Every structure is written in C-alpha cells, then in structure tokens.
Amino acid sequence: MSEPSQRCFLDTNILVYSFMPDNRAKRDKARGLVAQALERQDGVISFQVVQEFLNVATRKPQRRMSQAEAQQYLAQVLMPLCEVWPTASLYSDALSVADETGWSFYDSVIVSSALAAGCGAVLTEDLQTGRLIRGLEIRNPFS
C-alpha cells in the first residue's frame, strides 16, 4: 500500500490569514504554513487561489496590499506555489466532485485542483475537516 502524498493544497483562506492583523494565532499559523510550503516545495495552490487572494488582498480594508506589495507577493509566493491551471478536465472533475459532495462549484474546483496536483490534503477552514474525497483529506489547520 502506498503512503499518502505529503503535498498539501493551500486554500485561499490560509494565504489571507497570513496578512490579517486581528487574529495573531491564525496569522502566525498561516505564515508558518506558507513558509513551509515554499521551503519544502510541498505546498500547492491553483490559479483560482491566486485570483481570490489578490482580489481580497488588494481590497480588504483592514490590511490592503499596495499594488507594489501585491506584485512582489505574486512573484515571490503565489507563482512559485501555483501548479494548477484551468482545463476542461479540471472543470469536468469539479462538476463531478460538486455532485458527489453537494459543495459549491468553486469549492469543488479547489478539491479537483488538489487532486490534479497529487496532493494528500487540502488545508482549509471552509470545508468539512476530516472528510476524505477520492483519497484527499480535508484538514483545518486552525482547529
């Protein structure tokens, strides 16, 4: 029996929390996860996470990134972690995951992206922690 993949998919909320000033515990945990993903090269994100993060980070009133900060973060963090891009098969798989789980299409694209990248887990606060989807574990790193 093969060992589960150590690669983890980081959902958008992990990246967003790494910049949130109001919850130090979550911020520090999220920063650690992002740093580890970059250092070990075992963390993955998708095009969707890049888009969602930049949308939130450049608009969030509590801690808005400047255009220069967003450009730097894009180059140094987001693009090095981004491995999954849109394809017809990714969308088809997401529709299947949505049907199987009852989750939204966008959450299902996250799951399908993690599966496409060969990850063993999705780190997120937004889905049912502990649930297994096609061998992929949903984990809440903040619980």
Give residue-wise pLDDT tens across range 73-106: 999 999 999 999 999 999 999 999 999 999 999 9
Q: Where along the chain do its domains lie? A: 8-139
For residues 46 and 85, is the Cβ–Cβ distance under 8 A? Answer: yes
Among candidate residues 4, 29, 10, 6, the one with its CA nearest the CA of residue 19? 29
Confidence of residue 2 (pLDDT cuts 50, 70, 90): very low
Q: How far apart are CA 45 and CA 130, in angstroms?
A: 20
Among candidate residues 115, 120, 121, 129, the one with its CA nearest the CA of residue 84? 115
- Provide the pLDDT for residue 64: 86
Q: What is the DSSP string of 45-59?
A: EEHHHHHHHHHHHTT
What's this model's pTM, rounded to 2 decimal places? Answer: 0.93
CATH 3.40.50.1010 fits 8-139, yes or no: yes
Give residue-wise pLDDT tens across range 54-74: 999 998 766 789 999 999 999
